[in-house]
Amino acid sequence: INKEVTITIKGKLYRKIFNHDRFKGTIDIKGEVPTNIILDKKQVEVVFLENGGSLLFGDSSYGTLYINKDFSELSIIVYEHIESGRDNAFYSWHPEDGLLISGPAKSRKEALNISNELIGDLLKPLE
């Protein structure tokens, strides 16, 4: 999928001295997005981890967010819901065919460059 979307981030960033930084607010994604992207105008919480990534939570686990320090570039690994167990839901993402939202970018190549820069240490370069 190679579609153009607009992402608006509004909220507050909480810097913690002895704990993980957190963002609370909304991440609004507009454009031609798959129906499983349900973040629009919903309150989310982002917990920033030491590896540079962060977990993105809404009503359920949505994916992993990678964002630079000034919030000017981001990549979101969008989890695919694969199964619900009795007490747990299971999600998956694979570099070969998983959904990834990155920006700002005017082309797939620019989006991949941003993703490789932000996520690079965890994955082999995406093509």
| pLDDT single digits (tens) 68-109 | 878 888 888 877 766 666 666 666 777 777 788 888 998 888
pTM for the whole thing?
Answer: 0.73
Specify the number of domains making up the chain. Answer: 1
Amino acid at 90: F
Does residue 124 form part of some domain? no
pLDDT of the residue at 94: 75
Structural domain that includes position 12: 5-119
Amino acid at 16: K
Average pLDDT of the chain to the nearest whole number: 75
CA angle at 126 for the pair 125 and 127, rounded to the nearest 5°: 120
User: What's the pLDDT tens digit per position in 44-70?
Assistant: 777 777 656 665 655 556 677 888 878
Does residue 100 form part of some domain? yes
